[in-house]
Chain A
Amino acid sequence: MEATVPGHADTHAHGHHGHPPSGLMRWVTTTNHKDIGTMYLWFSFAMFLVGGMMALTIRSELFQPGLQILEPERFNQMTTLHGLIMVFGAIMPAFVGFANWMIPMQIGAADMAFGRMNNWSFWLLPPAATLLVTSLFVPGGAAAAGWTLYAPLSVQQGMGMDMTIFAVHILGMSSIMGSINIITTILNLRAPGMNLMKMPLFVWTWLITAFLIIAVMPVLAGAVTMILTDRHFGTSFFNAAGGGDPVLFQHVFWFFGHPEVYIVVIPGFGVVSQVVSAFSRKPLFGYASMVYATASIAVLSFFVWAHHMYTVGMPVGGQLYFMYATMLIAIPTGVKVFNWIATMWRGSLSFETPMLFSLGFIFLFTMGGFSGLVLAMAPVDVQMQDTYYVVAHFHYTMVAGALFSAFSATYYWLPKWTGHMYNEKLGKVHFWLSLIFFNMTFFVQHFLGLAGMPRRIPDYALQFTEFNQISTIGAFGFGLSQLLFLYNIITCIKGGPKAPAKPWDGAEGLEWDLPSPAPYHSWETQPTVK
């Protein structure tokens, strides 16, 4: 049995079995999956606040028509960095944090397969974030080409773009290393008896996500490397003056970009599947179909990229293909939504905070999915391209999708991590405020988009003022509500009612067999799953 647990041998080798070194060096040198998971989560929360401040700056500028607080260049830098930081700095690291904490505990492994690489994966993130944030202060300012870094803008801007490219390289390296670690852990370190089709959905969705990451992050790295060599080394991949094609960048970028949006949300599917099942006190309806649906979404994501590009110039045949392929994704997604609803059907439901956030996820993510179907239609998209309708659509999937599922996961597993129960009342207040302010911020943006307000512009026509003011007030409400979340977590870490090993009576899975808080080293003897 000992031989089956490389992580076990590892901890002996590093000589801190059971006793982590104290102080800062514990965090710098740690190879423990729980420490690294914690660092990932705090890092992503810090980035969430930084990206959130940028969002509030954008919304402040848009409170009134005309230019008030930002030059147009700064405004574009804000939208660019907000996107990059939220996607690569907040959402992705948050889910890698959950993966680090929960995957070894859920599959009965002592630790991640490669502790040292895990440490590296995390410690690459702060330098990348520093590059992104400090690029605001260099001459010419930060990258302002949008998070998609479209050529030719990205080929022309100042050194802020170089810093962004380097940051994207580092972030990509980090997530590739993290994914390789996760795949190896899941495929090789499962407890005896836990075959693939017995894995919790969160583990399954992460396995699929990790494969997506190692398939597409290198493509993004290639795309930004091409921009870098176009900028400094005389190549002409995207430079039309040298025979390149800027549209090529969009193809390469979205070959990465569309799978990327599923990378962001698929682990959230796993969280919601487990939470809905736990708080319905029923096994997940259609487990196998959930696995296959997730895998189909992942596979399909490679074949739909140009639906982001209907208006750049594409023959009708191409538009038709990408339109139908995109609509096809609604089928596996629909399977998932129906399975969640069927799981709740006649369940013994209770509505603690994790469940509330998961329900919010299902409701709002489905709305985001529907506006996605609207945008998938090429003739409609021609009207909507680059309007606030698109902004509303992807915030329904990214915020109400990925972020709400991350909140759900945090509340669900917080008792396991800290050994204390969080303040349930405060959690519910956090949920309701988030739900109301989220919709206040983004629902009205559908109307703005339909009326033709373009995105990424700091000014707008007078008739858009009311909806923009509603949206800005909502954004500030949403941002401030997150401070409740922070307060709730800090008080939960510091104290609170003692959490039992299994605080949710409907929850299933190996992690609940461990005491709360989970010991620093868990599953040194692998459990056996029947």
Chain B
Amino acid sequence: MKVITITDNRKLVAKLVLFSTLMFGFGYALVPFYSVFCALTGQNQIGLTDLPTNTQVDSGRTVNIEFDANVHDMPWQFHPLQSQVAVHPGEVTQILYEVVNTRNVPVTGQAIPSYGPKRVAEYFKKLECFCFERQTLAAGERRRMPVVFVVDPALPKDIGTITLSYTFFEVEGIHAASPSSGQGGA
């Protein structure tokens, strides 16, 4: 057996002390390492990386959505900003309509949606729509209004195109010719 001397002990201690000192430095090295690691990987941007993913999208299927806009006896210009989009069932989609009040008085209207073919109504889920409430436009106002929707993946296979049509009706019986100061905007 190798004879161990006091020098061997001291050599070992020197190594162990060096190791401890390096570990003290390592504690400090964690500080820049932490910022570099977070910057490179985005690990501390927890709000971004934790965004939920939609697992319900049926990407094997594409449905065409056509947008239509009508006004019923109203002084408004009303049209979709895109005439159609192609979506996968289950996908959350947002589109925009634009409406302009061409009168010099405020006008209130209510949009009524309808679908073609008619039976898709139960598969077409609107999450956000300007048709959920009345819209009041000031004189000459131009407004862009979103529709957020999902097409239910249970949509019958034979349907490849859906038409979403809105018609604006004027509410409160106020006709353009008789601006009423007492009943404003509601």
**What residues of chain A have their CB less than 8 Å away from a CB belonging to chain B?**
3-4, 6, 9, 113-114, 176, 179-180, 183-184, 187-189, 192-193, 214-223, 226, 237, 245, 247-248, 251-252, 255-256, 313-318
Contacts and interface: CB of A to CB of B under 8 A. Distances in A.
Can you list the 10 inter-chain pairs with the closest CB atoms, starting with the nearest?
A222-B27, A218-B24, A218-B23, A219-B27, A315-B49, A180-B16, A188-B4, A6-B6, A214-B20, A192-B1
Contacts of A248: 30-31, 34
The size bracket of the interface on B is 20 to 34
B46 A221 contact: no
Of B6, B43, B45, chain A has the most CB atoms within 10 Å of the CB of B6
Contacts of B28: 222, 226
A317 B27 contact: no
Contact of B12 (A187, A226, A256): A187
Interface in B17-51: 17, 19-21, 23-28, 30-31, 34, 43-46, 49-50
B177 interface: no
A3 B3 contact: yes
A217 B8 CA distance: 25
Contacts of A223: 27
A221 B27 contact: yes
A219 B49 contact: no
B20 A219 contact: no
B20 A184 contact: no
Contacts, number: 92
A114 to B, nearest CB: 7
A245 B31 CA distance: 10
B172 to A, nearest CB: 51
B9 A313 contact: no
Nearest to B19: A214
Contact of A315 (B1, B24, B25, B50): B50
A3 B2 CA distance: 11
B9 to A, nearest CB: 5
29 contacts: A6-B4, A6-B5, A6-B6, A9-B6, A113-B9, A113-B13, A114-B9, A176-B20, A180-B13, A180-B20, A183-B12, A184-B12, A188-B8, A192-B1, A193-B1, A214-B20, A218-B24, A218-B26, A219-B23, A221-B24, A222-B27, A226-B27, A226-B31, A251-B30, A252-B31, A255-B30, A315-B45, A315-B46, A317-B43
Given A219-B27, A248-B31, 12 more contacts: A3-B5, A176-B20, A180-B16, A180-B17, A183-B16, A188-B4, A189-B4, A215-B19, A217-B20, A220-B27, A245-B34, A316-B49
